[in-house]
Amino acid sequence: MAVYTDVAADDLTRFLSGYEIGDLLSYKGIAEGVENSNFLVHTTAGNYILTLYEKRVAEGDLPFFLGLMEHLHARGITCPQPVQNKQGGMLGKIAGRPAALVTFLDGMWMRRPSAGNCAAVGEALAALHLGGADFKMKRPNALSVESWRPLYQQAKDGCDKVHSGLSDSIAAELDHLERAWPRALPQGVIHADLFPDNVFFLGDKLSGLIDFYFACTDTLVYDVAVCLNAWCFEVDHSYNVTKGRALLKAYAKGRALSAAEREALPLLARGAALRFLLTRLVDWLAVPAGALVKPKDPIEYFRKLRFHQSVKSASDYGFSA
Amino acid sequence: MAVYTDVAADDLTRFLSGYEIGDLLSYKGIAEGVENSNFLVHTTAGNYILTLYEKRVAEGDLPFFLGLMEHLHARGITCPQPVQNKQGGMLGKIAGRPAALVTFLDGMWMRRPSAGNCAAVGEALAALHLGGADFKMKRPNALSVESWRPLYQQAKDGCDKVHSGLSDSIAAELDHLERAWPRALPQGVIHADLFPDNVFFLGDKLSGLIDFYFACTDTLVYDVAVCLNAWCFEVDHSYNVTKGRALLKAYAKGRALSAAEREALPLLARGAALRFLLTRLVDWLAVPAGALVKPKDPIEYFRKLRFHQSVKSASDYGFSA
């Protein structure tokens, strides 16, 4: 939640002269986005977001992310549209970092999403999966099941200081998921990080999806599992079946889930919970005690994992028969 | 450089309903301002800055800061103008914090200020001092000479880990400044923190001054001394006399310095350097090693202090005879 790289006004003016978006009037670093540095850029032509890609984003993946946003935008998904420079490219360089400009989306993200918000997200997620179906580029999910054991190794020694018994619980869960992980379900473009802060609303209406920097080619229903984790739990970590039902029903209206996909949902939800538990754990352990900027609490996802382990079938998530 | 307090969209909508500034379209936490949380708020009526005042700002001082901005704005100083709510007040409450809305100023701050920028700042500072002359409220400078010894006591034990011999150097400087600090020079409203990130430019033209949250009633020429420290040194910590001359000449055009003010300048510049050295030192020592967000380097101001100690008279700063 910080700006990692600052940009000087004359460097930005020079950068913008490569685009046809008018004259620079102001820019502010924005305290959003955990991986990259983002600036809200105001020009005589309007508002834009300038993103500087920091170390954690592989430069080779940028054409996938930017191409995907352009592809989805062209198919009617409201998401930031990369702005082409005068040469027709979408990627530039500023302050030593790869950088891109995208259009600014109005809207607010919901700190306390309602069941109606969850339905809107389910609908948008199905539209994203359908809209991405003819996207030609591929990108493997760098944070899928194969990556979890190395993340666990990184966090292992510090685990039990965060929560007693956590290390053994993760080890057991990993063994189970690596054995049982489904490989034959329908694949496609997934967002993979569609948390509330990546979904904008104007009033009750969803006004846009942002932050495609974890998007990849993976099991579509895994994306649904990520959303159940991100949208359908209360602050006390209890699952809200009304929200789950709203999300799943709205998704199924756009894209029906097969029997195999439904059946796999509890396992995929466990996997999604473990994925966020592990990355948060690694971030948590990397930051010294007392630091001003605290990473997100990993234990929230341990609680969610516990819930998913207790689930007997997909109907526990709110699927109507 | 962070947002300390997050704001939920429905809380903000409720807050904004107390103002006549249209409907909320978006808001983003901005990574500027060290003391408070700031949001760029976009409504159907335009752009605004929402500031949530955090612990380090005393609530009792807010009427001074907001009243001053209103006063200066009415006198033609381009600075944010507090927006009045429907009751005519300027101060509200959101997320448990005192909060105010001010108008948004276009412009960019100069990461590498030129001599021309320094002249523009000198001119604006004189205008601010003149414009503030009939402002009725008073606020003592909480970071003037009386506060420095307590700050030193706080930092004392950690000083020499930051720079060998620093503790003794500060102690000697403190003894000197406490004895010699001038008390009889012209007083008035000073900005007290007019660093480059608080001055906006559009092209070469100064477009506004922001961040009045250190403003107070103090020796006017001390404000000039703060600006010499903040604007006229190079990245290698050497003093740039061309910039100093530009700043001082432009200031004097608006408000001439008396002989006594000129004579006191080297001492006031030492005081200003020590003030920023001490507050940065305290912040530096409060943050654990390895934290993501690093406070500003205190030693920069130790180097500047060393320069001021070597100055023989105000003419070394670029005053023409």
Question: Cβ distance A38 to A3 under 8 Å?
Answer: yes
Phi/psi at B261 (5° precision) = -65, -45
Q: Per the CB < 8 Å rule, is A29 touching B31? A: yes
pLDDT computed for residue B1 by the predictor: 45
Q: Are strands B92-94 and B97-103 parallel, antiparallel or unpaired?
A: antiparallel
Mean pLDDT of A12-33: 92
Distance from CA of B110 to the nearest CA of A (A): 6
CATH number for the domain formed by residue range(s) B9-103: 3.30.200.20
**Which residues are B12's β-sheet partners?**
none
Q: Per the CB < 8 Å rule, is B12 touching A108? A: yes
Through-space distance between the first and last CA atoms of chain A, rounded to whole angstroms: 42
Q: Per the CB < 8 Å rule, is A26 touching B200? A: yes
CA pair distance A23, A34, nearest whole angstrom: 29
The ipTM, to two decimals, is: 0.84
Please list the residue range(s) of chain A that carry CATH number 3.90.1200.10. 109-317
CA pair distance A281, B204, nearest whole angstrom: 48
Mean pLDDT of A130-140: 97
Q: Are strands B187-190 and A46-52 parallel, antiparallel or unpaired?
A: unpaired
Q: Which CATH architecture has domain A109-317?
A: Alpha-Beta Complex (3.90)
CA pair distance A19, A100, nearest whole angstrom: 11
Q: Per the CB < 8 Å rule, is A3 touching B288? A: no
**Which residues are A109's β-sheet partners?**
A200
Phi/psi at B30 (5° precision) = -110, 145
- Which region holds residue A3: left if phi is over 0, alpha if psi is between -120 and 50, else beta? beta
Q: Which residues of A touch B31 (CB under 8 A)?
A: 2-3, 28-31
Q: Domain A9-104: which CATH class? A: alpha beta
Structure tokens at A160: 């039990």
- Of A8, A47, A289, nearest to B111 by CB-CB distance is A8
Structure tokens at A68: 């995907």
CA pair distance B125, B144, nearest whole angstrom: 19
What's the order of all strands across the beta sheet hosting A37-43?
A: A92-94, A97-103, A46-52, A37-43, A24-30, B24-30, B37-43, B46-52, B97-103, B92-94
Question: Cβ distance A85 to A18 under 8 Å?
Answer: yes
Distance from CA of A10 to the nearest CA of B (A): 8
CA dist list (Å): A218 to A145, A191, B229: 11, 9, 55
CA A256 to the chain's CA centroid: 22
CA pair distance A126, A220, nearest whole angstrom: 9
At B56, is the pLDDT very low, low, confident or very high (cuts 50, 70, 90)?
A: confident
Distance from CA of A23 to the nearest CA of B (A): 10
The whole model's pTM is what?
Answer: 0.88
**Which residues are B217's β-sheet partners?**
B140, B189
Structure tokens at A53: 């890609």
- Of B9, B32, B288, nearest to A288 by CB-CB distance is B288
Residues whose CB is less than 8 angstroms from the CB of residue B216 and which lie 6 or more positions away in sequence, other chains included: B139, B140, B141, B142, B189, B190, B192
Per 3-state DSSP, chain A is made up of helix, strand and coil in percentages (nearest 5) of 45, 15, 35
CA pair distance A198, A32, nearest whole angstrom: 10
Lowest mean pLDDT across A30-39, A261-270, B14-23, B216-225: A30-39
pLDDT computed for residue B4 by the predictor: 79
Q: Which residues of B touch A289 (CB under 8 A)?
A: 288
Q: Per the CB < 8 Å rule, is A28 touching B25? A: no
CA pair distance B285, B5, nearest whole angstrom: 23
pLDDT tens column, B103-155: 999 999 999 999 999 999 999 999 999 999 999 999 999 999 999 999 999 99
Using CB atoms and an 8 Å cut-off, which of residues 80-119 of chain B contact chain A?
A: 104-112
Distance from CA of A4 to the nearest CA of B (A): 9
pLDDT tens column, B225-268: 999 999 999 999 999 999 999 999 999 999 999 999 999 999 99
For A103-130, letters b (16+ CB in 10 Å) and e give bbbebbbbeebebbbbbbbbbbbbbbbb
Mean pLDDT of A291-318: 89
Through-space distance between the first and last CA atoms of chain B, rounded to whole angstroms: 42
At residue A1, does pLDDT exceed 50?
Answer: no
Give the chain B residue whose CA is nearest to the CA of A208: B26
Q: Per the CB < 8 Å rule, is A107 touching B201? A: no
- Of A26, A111, A288, nearest to B291 by CB-CB distance is A288
Mutating which of B4, B11, B51, B292 best tests the A interface, going by the most A Cβ atoms within 10 A? Answer: B292
**Which residues are A51's β-sheet partners?**
A38, A100
CA pair distance B257, A179, nearest whole angstrom: 80
Using CB atoms and an 8 Å cut-off, which of residues 163-202 of chain A contact chain B?
A: 200-202
Q: Which residues of A touch B27 (CB under 8 A)?
A: 108
What's the order of all strands across the beta sheet hosting B108-109?
A: B108-109, B199-202, B205-209
pLDDT tens column, B73-95: 999 999 999 999 999 999 999 99
pLDDT computed for residue B286 by the predictor: 86
Look-up: residue for tokens 């912040």?
A: B283
Q: Which residues of A touch B110 (CB under 8 A)?
A: 8-9
pLDDT tens column, A54-84: 887 889 999 999 999 999 999 999 999 999 9
pLDDT tens column, B183-235: 999 999 999 999 999 999 999 999 999 999 999 999 999 999 999 999 999 99
Q: Which residues of B touch A293 (CB under 8 A)?
A: 2, 291-293
CA pair distance B40, B43, nearest whole angstrom: 10
Mean pLDDT of A245-271: 97
Q: Per the CB < 8 Å rule, is A293 touching B42? A: no
Give the chain A residue whose CA is nearest to the CA of B105: A26
Q: Which residues of B touch A29 (CB under 8 A)?
A: 1, 30-32
H or E stretch covering B149? helix B145-162
Question: Cβ distance A20 to A53 under 8 Å?
Answer: no
A252 touching chain B per CB within 8 A = no
At residue A124, does pLDDT exceed 70?
Answer: yes
Using CB atoms and an 8 Å cut-off, which of residues 9-68 of chain B contact chain A?
A: 9-10, 12, 24-32, 40, 42, 47
Question: Cβ distance B1 to B34 under 8 Å?
Answer: yes
How many interface pairs between A and B have CB atoms less than 8 angstroms apart? 109
**Which residues are A38's β-sheet partners?**
A30, A51
pLDDT computed for residue A226 by the predictor: 98
CA pair distance B217, A237, nearest whole angstrom: 51
Question: Cβ distance A46 to A104 under 8 Å?
Answer: yes
Using CB atoms and an 8 Å cut-off, which of residues 280-309 of chain A contact chain B?
A: 287-293
* Residue type present at position A25: L
* H helical segments located in chain A: 9-16, 62-74, 115-131, 145-162, 166-180, 220-231, 241-254, 259-286, 299-310
Q: 3-class SS at A207? A: strand
Average pLDDT for chain B: 94
Mutating which of B17, B30, B37, B285 best tests the A interface, going by the most A Cβ atoms within 10 A? Answer: B30
pLDDT computed for residue B174 by the predictor: 98
Question: Cβ distance B49 to B41 under 8 Å?
Answer: yes
Alpha-carbon dihedral of residues B144, B296, B233, B211, nearest 10 degrees? Answer: -60
Give the chain A residue whose CA is nearest to the CA of B200: A26
B209 closest CA partner among B276, B126, B124, B131: B124
At residue A14, does pLDDT exceed 80?
Answer: yes
Question: Cβ distance A86 to A19 under 8 Å?
Answer: yes
Mutating which of A108, A114, A204, A294 best tests the B interface, going by the most B Cβ atoms within 10 A? Answer: A108
At residue A2, does pLDDT exceed 90?
Answer: no
Distance from CA of B268 to the nearest CA of A (A): 30
- Of A10, A108, A288, nearest to B27 by CB-CB distance is A108
